[in-house]
Structure 1
Amino acid sequence: MSLSTQLTEKRDANAANLPPEVLAIMSDATLNLKLSGIIDSAPKAGDKLAAFSLTNPLGVTRHLSELLVNGPVVVTFYRGSWCPYCNLALRAYQQHLAEFKQLGATFVAITPELPDMSLSTAEKNELEFDVLSDVNAEYAKALGLVFSLPDSIRDLYKKFGVEVEKHNGADQFNFPLAATFVVAKDGTIVKAFVDADYTYRLDPEDIISSLKAL
């Protein structure tokens, strides 16, 4: 089953099971984010992806410049291990990791979660690619991908038992948009997926097509 199909099934299940007032709050927050114009400032195909130096849960720092020496790099952003859509995407990317590697690409995921939490995410989803901690979402912010979780959603998450500050640090409610970039060896973005609706992600097959085109 494709990632897109899995995400659609998850959206349908939420629509059927969540109270209408909860769905309305979530829908309004997504609409407001779309109308904010945030996507207009996000990196696009043809842009150079800004360099990063971020640490994995084992304390090893990964530099984009060094990863690109070996070939193209696929960079995906996710919100946290508490997000079911993020977990579906991460598992789907893991399932296609061998294909990415065969096409010469390195795959990395970037999250605002603290290292201990990102380690839990990697272990839970049996990930064999680097999960890098973007503490305070500083790198994502530099790319123009960051928004602050509105109070209405913070309250909802508390009711759901999601402790954002436990995952991201005290007073940290900044999240990256759902975004994935396929970056050529020279640092140029050849495929950019950015969506204000976190329930949508770039399908692995689209990543593979972009890598084959290189």
Structure 2
Amino acid sequence: MLNRAVSKSLIALPLILLSMAVTAELKIPSKNPALSVTGQQQLGTRENNIGLAIGSTVADFSISTHDNKTVTLKDIQSMGDTLVVFYRGGWCPYCNVQIRQLTQAWPEFQQRRITPILISVDKTDAAALAQRTYEIPFPVLSDTDLIAHNAFEVVLDVDDATFERYKKYGIDLELWSGKNHHKIAVTAAYIVDKNAVVKWAHTSLDYKTRPSVEQLLDIIDTIAR
């Protein structure tokens, strides 16, 4: 059973601006771009063999909710089947579009008894920031030490030139993660069963192109047959 405090934080995460100080420090992108939908031939593929393959068992890990409650792989397993989505960070407007789409489709996931779980390297307070104020009714987890990222093998090294270019855009990865490792997630989506076995996997280095909600729901329905 989940600890009551942890369970409460996993059920509903108000995505709000926590304070004027944090808002000033962590600049939230104002753009609202359109995501490109993954082509059917690429759907369910692992670019450059990045990430765990279908049939792999996820290694145990322990990370945090936005309010510093601990969440373990065992806690996640207790939810049953999960859709684990790795995103680059709250600074990424494409990630925010995807998060909003997943949030809007929550009733569809509920109907299928599968829980989306969002993971990034954002520190705990940054994990509670978003471009707009709305509630996410499923877990948004902070993995600043890349524990879950390594468990799923989706760590992306940001080179020095890209790091400096992002800073010119007003995006300081060190402020968002609270770390100086300059690593983020490869955009990825996994369907993981209650035994921590990967049933479906998709990874892509093209962060502007991701599986649509409709595609994900079709895949869930296919796996359930």
Give the TM interval when normalised to the shorter protein: 0.7 to 0.9
Return the offset for 1:141: 2.4
Return the offset for 1:176: 1.0
Paired position in structure 1 for 2:137: 128
Return the offset for 1:204: 1.4
Paired position in structure 2 for 1:204: 213
Q: Does 1:8 align with 2:36?
A: yes
| Amino acid paired to 2:121 | P
Return the offset for 1:123: 7.0
CA distance in 1, matches of 2:57, 2:87: 21
User: Structure 1 residues 203 and 8 mapped into 2: Cα distance closer, same or farther (>3 Å)?
Assistant: closer
Q: Does 1:181 align with 2:190?
A: yes
RMSD of Structure 2 on Structure 1 (CA) = 2.3
Higher relative contact order (CA 8 A, sep 6+): 2
CA contact (8 A) 1:109 1:130 kept: yes
Return the offset for 1:69: 3.0
User: Structure 1 residues 209 and 197 mapped into 2: Cα distance closer, same or farther (>3 Å)?
Assistant: same
CA distance in 2, matches of 1:125, 1:133: 18
The range that moved more, 171-180 or 51-60, is 51-60
Q: Map of 1:147-186 to 2, 5 A cutoff?
A: 147-186=156-195
User: Structure 1 residues 181 and 80 mapped into 2: Cα distance closer, same or farther (>3 Å)?
Assistant: same
Q: Which string of whole-angstrom CA distances, capped at 9 and with x for unpartnered residues, describes residues 139-158 of structure 1?
A: 21233211211122112111
CA contact (8 A) 2:124 2:142 kept: yes
CA distance in 1, matches of 2:171, 2:50: 29
Paired position in structure 1 for 2:146: 137
Return the offset for 1:38: 7.6
Structure 2 SS opposite 1:207? helix
Paired position in structure 1 for 2:7: none
Q: Map of 1:1-214 to 2, 5 A cutoff?
A: 6-8=34-36, 39-121=48-130, 124-212=133-221, 213-214=223-224
Query: Structure 1, unaligned stretches of length 5 or more?
Result: 10-36
| Amino acid paired to 2:153 | G
Structure 1 SS opposite 2:171? coil
CA distance in 2, matches of 1:171, 1:70: 33
Query: Structure 2, unaligned stretches of length 5 or more?
Result: 1-32, 38-45
CA contact (8 A) 2:77 2:195 kept: yes
Q: Which string of whole-angstrom CA distances, capped at 9 and with x for unpartnered residues, describes residues 117-172 of structure 1?
A: 00113974532211111013232123321121112211211111111111011413
Structure 2 SS opposite 1:110? strand
| Amino acid paired to 2:125 | D
Q: Which string of whole-angstrom CA distances, capped at 9 and with x for unpartnered residues, describes residues 25-51 of structure 1?
A: xxxxxxxxxxxx984241112222233
Structure 2 SS opposite 1:76? strand
Structure 2 SS opposite 1:115? coil
User: Structure 1 residues 44 and 125 mapped into 2: Cα distance closer, same or farther (>3 Å)?
Assistant: farther
Structure 1 SS opposite 2:209? coil
Structure 1 SS opposite 2:34? helix
User: Structure 1 residues 106 and 67 mapped into 2: Cα distance closer, same or farther (>3 Å)?
Assistant: same
Runs of 4+ in 1 over 6 A off after TM superposition: none
- More helix by proportion, 1 or 2? 1
